[in-house]
Structures are given as structure tokens and as C-alpha cells.
Amino acid sequence: MRLLGISAHYHDSAAVLVEDGRIVAAAQEERFTRIKHDAALPRQAIAYCLSRCAGPLNAVVYYEKPLQKFERILRTAFAAAPGGFRAFAAAIPDWARRKLWISLEIEDALRALGHNMDGKIRFASHHEAHAASAFFPSPFPHAAILTLDGVGEWSTATLAQGNGAKLDFLHELRFPHSLGLLYSAFTHYCGFRVNSGEYKLMGLAPYGEPRYRDLILENLLDLREDGSFRLRLEHFGYLHGERMTSARFDALFGGPARRPADEVTQRHCDLARSIQSVTEEIVLRIARHLHSITGAEDLCLAGGVALNCVANGRLLREGPFKRIWVQPAAGDAGGALGAALSFHYAQPGAVRTTDGTHDAMRGAFLGPEYADSEIAAALAERGLAAERLPDSAATARRIAERVAAGAVVGVLQGRAEFGPRALGARSILGDARSPRMQSVLNLKIKFRESFRPFAPIVLAERTAEFFDLAAPSPYMLLTAPVRGARSSEPSAPMAERLRESRSAIPAVTHVDGSARVQTVDAATNPFLHAVLREFDALTGCPVMINTSFNVRGEPPVCHPREAIEGFLHTGMDALALGPYFIERSTVPPSLLPAANAPRAFAPD
């Protein structure tokens, strides 16, 4: 059975191909269109998936039920009337033109690609898709399942249990009471973009103190022991569709929302720390309740809130479950995967097998790859000469040598990652031992805020030497303490704390002594494992920086030509494209931007 899963029209649209339960291909539309978080029907991602399809499709499965979602929007508009009329009136044309007719739009797109799917479009509910994406690719034969996000049709959180090929839903939290929307309200209030800047808020939190935690718990929500809650809606604006927060919210926290161009102050750091603390408390309470009603030893997570790696790390260290597994594409992109898998395992006779150790995501390397000839053509088109190395071992060795010498190296190798994290296929690598590397990468390569941390990659077999992490973290979704690290003095100014060297790997040690870890094993990530092994042989340190190959406001690169442009227009020192290696010192000056050339960035 060949199934195409699709998510679209909200954010992070994607397409996924599943054949007989095996994940064959998956990609987000943003990687092709270069529009970050692109929400459009993923026509190019669909075309990519179909290029790897072995025969005709049996069905296409969409990750939501549009009629149920439209019902929620109508009911909310009537309940909030007349306040939300303007936003409601603005939304209706899009629903009337596209969203209510998604099956026809999908059929037209597939017909243009030579696939006639009339009558074969199916629908999964939003949180059913999240739960399926969490459990079915996981290594666990049985597990509890927790999904948390902004909102699907009505659900904002679900508690479920997976057993073999079956999902059983136990409880749900319903709109407008939502942990995802609560976190996004603070994202907006601190001046970051909703559905994009939540990870900035998480990165900002360690610079603050939880001074507003009690204020949040006493005024914004009624939290119960089982983790369920009701928001006090007079403090929020999203029911009216105009903004995330209300004037009462502003008054409670001492002023209006920060504008994106304004300075980030200690107050914003404290707000970020406070809502992060509340989020972790809610997640831990829900997890304890879910464990008590299922008795499961293992937990699977999905939904946008599951990308909060700090909460995940606490859940692993303090929660009641022995193991947790987080879907690497936990947000809406992963809904496309879950939609296809939920349909597959609902078929009579569907059987799911797992060894209890290895997941089915294939390292999340499910996106496009490019032949050496395509890379060579992209280099020639740009007028670049490159050294061709004899094999992948030589490439790994060269990357390690350059990073050990202090260089920043861009890497494009093999199939692109599915999900928001760079895992070594479309990455920028640097020396984690360098006290300067964090600021160099932020200011000269990524062109982003200086407070944002970078993640370490470490040989899986050496993890315990550097991090207090009791589980594999191949998808960079767990935060753990760095061994021997010290936290910054909370009263010190942010600029001073940024300059502090807090451990033997300072470039990846956040101000609270933690790091968002990616463990790298030879079986699922052989090339990156080889790079780290070579780096360890040279330096005695099996840890590097790994960050996504992009600059502010852009999605990670996909095609070699995008990697070339990223290399030329940043301060990167070298570029490894498949077997080709380029040093910046060999690039003709005419191809490099002028030192004082202005650079425009899309909002992120």
C-alpha cells in the first residue's frame, strides 16, 4: 500500500510517502520554495515524494478534518461576537476559496503530476495525526502518548495509549484552553513571531529568573493536579483573532508587548523564564497523570510543544517514564507523516513490528539528495573551482581538520533532514571548545540574536563523559546538563554572561550550564559519526557545534546551489558539498560580497 500524507494551509506544510508502513520520503515545502514555514499546498514536496514512489498511490491522507475546524471557527466567532467580527470576516474568503475545498486542490495538484486520485482523498483528525506520528515510528511496542500544540480542530492536547498497530485515545483538552497558545502568547508579548519564535523564547529563558511564575499561575490559568487547566480568557486576544494578548495581559505584566526591533531587556528574560517554568510544570503534571492511568513505561510525544527540548529534558530526568521518544518533526510537518501512518495501521490485517530499540525514522534523513554531477554543475554555474576528494572518509577527515583549526564549515551530504533540526546533512559545523565560536556563528554566519545558543553533537558512545544524559538524543530534542559546567551569575548583565566561558566546551554550554544535545551513532548517521571520530582523534574531544545551514529568516538549504550562495554570502571558511571541498581563500574576490555590503533578512 502506497500512501501520500499531506499537511498544508497553516504552517510548515509537508508531504510524506509511506509504502507498506515504511517511511520512504518526507519533506517540507519550505525547503523548495525558500519561504520559511511555508503554509501553501506542498506541490514541490509532493512532486519529490512521488519521484520516489514505486507505483500508483492507493490513497492520499490529509492531516486535519476541515469541516470540523471550520465548525470550531464559526462557533468561536459567534461566542466572541461582536469583538472578533473583523478577523472572522477576513478569514472567511480563504475558507470559502481554499480550505473547505482542500480535497479538490489536492486532486488538481496530483492530476497535474500524472496521478488521478478522484475519490481517494482521506482525512485524519489533527491530533490523531500527531499521535500516530509519535507512536508508530517509535521503537516501543506499547507506550503512552502525549500530544500538545496550539489547536487542531478542537483538541489542544490528547492523552492516548499505543499498543501494536492500535491507538486508544483517553482524554483531551479542548480549545480555547491550550498550552501551545499560552506559550505563543508570551512569544508574541516578548516581541517574537508566533509559530516561529517560540524557540527563541526558550533560548532566552535561562537568562532570566521566574519572577512572574506565580503571577501567571494565579492570574492566567486554573491549573489542576492532573495537568489540565482552564485559561482566564479575558487576558488573551486570540478568540477575537486580532492579537494573542489583551490590554489586561499588558496591565498584568507592566506594559505593552515588545516590538520586534526593540531591545531585549531583563524583564523579557524573566518573562521567558517564567512561562518556561510554568510550561514544564504543566507537562510534568500531565505526564504523571498519563502514567498513572496507563501504567506504561514508555512515552511518545508530538505536537509543537514537544519541540520544547528543555521540558523534554526535565521529563526524562524527573518524570515517571523510563524512556521517552519525540517525533523529530513534531509540529505540523510531522502531521503529514502521522496522517499516512494512521490510515495504514487502520487497515484490516495491518501489523506493526519493532525491536524496542530502533525507531523507524531512518535518522530523519528522508528529504532530497543530489548526485555528484548535479553538485558539479551547480559549482560550475557559479564559476567556482573545488577540490574533489576521493571518498567520504577523506571528506570527513578534511572537515574535522578544518574545524580543529578553527574554521567554520558548511556541510551538504546525502538526503536532507525532515523536521526543524539540522542533523548533519545540511549543517554548519564549528569547534565547541572555542570561547569565541558562539558569537562568531551568531553574528557573522547566522546573522541572528547574540543570546541564542548552539547545540552540540557528540559521539553517542562518549555522551556520558560530557553530558548528564541517560538516553540517546539523535534528533536534538533533549536538553541536558553539561558535566563540569557552571551557571552564570544571574545578576550579571546579559552581554557579560554571553562572554563567560562556562565549561570545557563553552560554545555549546548555555548560561544555565545546559546544552541541547544531539548524540551521533554510526548506524543511523555514519558520515557525521566519522567526522566526529576524526575530530576526536585530532583533538581528544568528540564534541562539535552543529547548527542548521541557513541564515536568519530562511529555511535550511536543500539544493547545492543554495548551499553555495549561503557559503559565499556569510563568513563561512569552507564548504563540503558531497565529495567537493571549497576553501573561502580560493574563491575569486569578485564572487564575494563587499565587506560593507548591506544584507536584508526576511522576518523570523
Residue 580: in which H helix or E strand, if any? strand 580-583
User: For 50-87, b where at least 16 C-beta lie within 10 A, e where not — what string?
Assistant: beebeeebebbbbbbbbeebbebbeebbeebeeebeeb
The amino acid at 549: F
Give the residues across from 23 on adjacent strands.
18
Beta-strand (E) ranges in 321-408?
Answer: 323-326, 387-388
Say whether the peptide bond before residue 176 is cis (omega within 30 degrees of 0): yes
The total of other beta-carbon atoms located within 10 Å of residue 362's CB is 16
Distance (Å, whole) CA 102 – CA 122: 11
Instruction: At 593, give phi and psi (nearest 5°).
Output: -70, 150
Angstrom distances, CA of residue 303 to CA of 130, 206, 384: 6, 23, 42
DSSP letter, residue 12:
S
Distance (Å, whole) CA 177 – CA 228: 9
Distance (Å, whole) CA 144 – CA 334: 18
Distance (Å, whole) CA 216 – CA 599: 39
* Cα first-last separation, the chain: 39
| Structure-block grid coordinates of residue 214 | 506565580
The amino acid at 419: G
Distance (Å, whole) CA 567 – CA 575: 7
Distance (Å, whole) CA 21 – CA 480: 33
Evaluate whether 15 touches 6 at the Cβ level (below 8 Å).
yes
Q: Is 188 an active-site residue? A: no
The amino acid at 421: R
Distance (Å, whole) CA 468 – CA 450: 26
Distance (Å, whole) CA 448 – CA 288: 37
Residues whose CB is less than 8 angstroms from the CB of residue 565 and which lie 6 or more positions away in sequence, other chains included? none
Closest listed residue to residue 123, CA positions, set 7, 29, 9: 7
The angle formed by the CA atoms of residues 267, 603 and 175, to the nearest 5 degrees, is 70
Active-site residue, from 9, 11, 177, 510: 11
Cell 498511490 locates to 57
Strand order through the sheet with 155-163:
166-174, 155-163, 142-148, 298-302, 323-326
Closest listed residue to residue 137, CA positions, set 291, 6, 326: 326
Chain center to CA of 127: 17
Distance (Å, whole) CA 477 – CA 456: 12
Task: Tell me the catalytic residues.
Answer: 11
